Structure 1
Amino acid sequence: MLQDERSKGIAAGIGAYSLWGLLPIYWKLLGEISAGEVLAHRIVWSFLFLILLFWALRKLGTLKEDLRYIKDHPKISAGIMLSAFFISINWILFIWAVAAERVVEVSLGYYINPLINVVLGVLFFKESLSNRQRTAVGLAVCGVLILTISFGQIPYVALALAFSFGMYGLVKKQTQIGAMTGLILETMFLLPPAIVYLLIIHRDLSSILYLPDLSTALLLAGTGAATAVPLLLFGSAARLIPLSLLGFLQYIAPTSMLFLGVLVYGEPFTAAHGAAFAFIWTALLLYSIRPKRKPSAA
Structure 2
Amino acid sequence: MDWVQSYKACPQKVGFLDLPRELRDYVYGYASRVQGAILLYSPNPYAMIPYSKAMQVRHKGEGPVEPQPLGTVIPIALLTACRQLHVEGSAILYGSNAFRLWFLSDIEIRLSYRQLVKHIIFTTEVDYHIFSHNLDEVSYWWKRRFWPNLIKNSTSAFERFPGLETLTFPIKPPRHGESWRPAFFAVANKTRHQRVTLAANWMKSRCPLENERLRECLQLELVPFTSRSKDEPDEEEEEEEEEEEWDCTEFVEAFELMKTLR
TM-score range with shorter-chain normalisation? under 0.3
Using CA pairs below 8 Å that are at least 6 residues apart, which structure has the higher relative contact order? 1
Larger Rg: 2
**1 or 2, which has the higher strand percentage?**
2
TM-score by length of 1: 0.25
**1 or 2, which has the higher helix percentage?**
1
TM-score by length of 2: 0.27
